Structure 1
Amino acid sequence: MSSDQDTNVQIETAREVLYIEGSALLQMSDYLDKSFSKAIQTILKCQGRTILTGMGKSGHIANKIASTLASTGTPAFFVHPAEAAHGDLGMIVAGDIVIALSNSGESDEILTLVPALKRKGVTIIAITGREQSTLAKISDIHIFARINQEACPLGLAPTTSTTVSLAIGDAIAVCLLKERHFTSNDFALSHPAGSLGKSLLIKAEDIMIKEDDTPVVSTNATLKDVIIVMTNKGLGLAIITDTEKHVLGIFTDGDLRRLFQNEQEIKNLVIKDIMTTLPKTISKDILASEALHLMQKHKIASLLVINNNNQLLGVLTMHQLLKAGIV
């Protein structure tokens, strides 16, 4: 068989797999019934945690669902059923909910846990592919993950069944998210290291250069003095304030270059005569992501951070935004 023929066969196989699994997902959306809604309401009323469990491939899917729930407002974690039977069951207490995944509904490791879970007063939600399975019958709520066939041509490897189970988990998480009125700010709180978390949590005051470390000069400073201060601080700017730290103006490297380009007599210049008045300023509580937007909008590389009295608190530069991962 030629290389092109191999490629065509592989693409056709892949399309068949995607078609089988995609069709199963669409069919599952039609199969959802009141048991799904009951599961959502039960989790919403739960005062404890939601614990996911499953063996083999179902365990991997359960682990991912637990992670999705935890990051979208539902306290959740995964417990391996075999480990639970050897002590980890102590992590589950009265008032918790266990969501157990098993395509066959006959996993010995999970069925072994059920009596102990019921004695603890734990609600059991089962997601299985067999409506009359043992787990389906003994659980408090059963969600039937119905499929017509696995995408595996041998009908052995969990493919369609795991895809449908994962999608049901996503559906549960999104329903709970909406019911809890979960926002992007809430999401950021559980993802502080991610780009979204940083953009929604980090404020100007968290990363700005504090006032004591900024290049501040008085209105009567000579250009020579200003250049020395700018060089020592290395921020490419000088901030002009009065004796009470009220911001009066700014002078940047760009301003200095323009002075030279105009070939003016600069030796005796005083900063109050050449500074830019009304510089761009922000409050300390503004989000760093909003500060970035302002810099981009006005094509500048720094913003002065002030209080309500127009007194200098610090400087936020593009470099700080880069270091913080905002850019």
Structure 2
Amino acid sequence: MTDHANSRRPKRGSYRPKPETLALLQVSGNPINGVGETTPRRPSPFFWHPPDQHPWGGLQIVARESSRKCPGSVSAFQAAYNYPELIPVADVRSEQSPEQLSLNLMRVALEHEADDVGIAPMDPLYVFEGYTINEPWVIVLALAHNYERLKEVPSDETNGVGVCDVGDQYAKGTRSSYALANWIRSQGYNAHPYPGPSAGALALIPPAIAAGLGELGKHGSLISRHFGSGVRLAGVTTDMPLVATAPDRFGADEFCATCQICTNACPPGAILPQKQMVRGVERWYVDFDKCIPYFAEASSCGICIAECPWTRPSVRPKLLATMARRLDL
């Protein structure tokens, strides 16, 4: 149930964006996202890409300013942009098998702040239009939120706990992805990191699903069997020969079909009750035009992932058991 005792959360349907915020939504994001399109294609550059690549640069400024007014958030997010230099690729390549390289890679990732790791073959549909990735493999790292901090969202100038935890996980993703990329380079292979919070060439959720880190939730974010929706992602691409990890079906998709918790908790009513056709795939989709004005004004929001039943540590094991019985997994 949504915690309406949190005065920072308007009830669904009561929120109205400020006129000056709404004025910055000059173009609908839903067609650019490919809603209604029946043919698969690469995603277009979007929110958090450089503002010359999409129409919402002004909204990005509002979102950044509103989150930075929260206590502690400036230093938390600044840490996400501090990273070591990438080392040169070693002249001698490791001769270990793909199986052993994959095991070693996962061990290194987990030793360098990643909470989960998966491996998937690169798919051109993971790469945003206008960008190029040449490596044939993508490694996705999961960084788990602290649930007790996450549930404090949305943040404002009186309480920055939730948004600071967002910044902390992005900072972990930066450190972890650069550490892993440098380890791969030390083995004689190319590697490039793709951390958040700014967007780059790589769309992270699709390869995360392919690599077994979770399922797509109704709120448009990944649901992990280990961390629920309280997880951030970072990626590394490489030409190191690897072995893919398998997708993980545990019932989140089926659960979302009937659950209404995030739908009812969303102040602007942006979470749609049915799947939509998006770039040739029928999937869960969040209405950009309703979500982003509130996201920008409410310090990056986060209500839907905090309210998701899968995110609650005391509830998740019961959900896993229930869905396993229901799906005979």
| TM-score, L = length of structure 2 | 0.21
The structure carrying a bigger helix percent of its residues is 1
Higher RCO (C-alpha 8 Å, min separation 6): 2
Q: Which structure has the larger Rg over C-alpha atoms? A: 1
Q: TM-score, normalised by structure 1?
A: 0.21
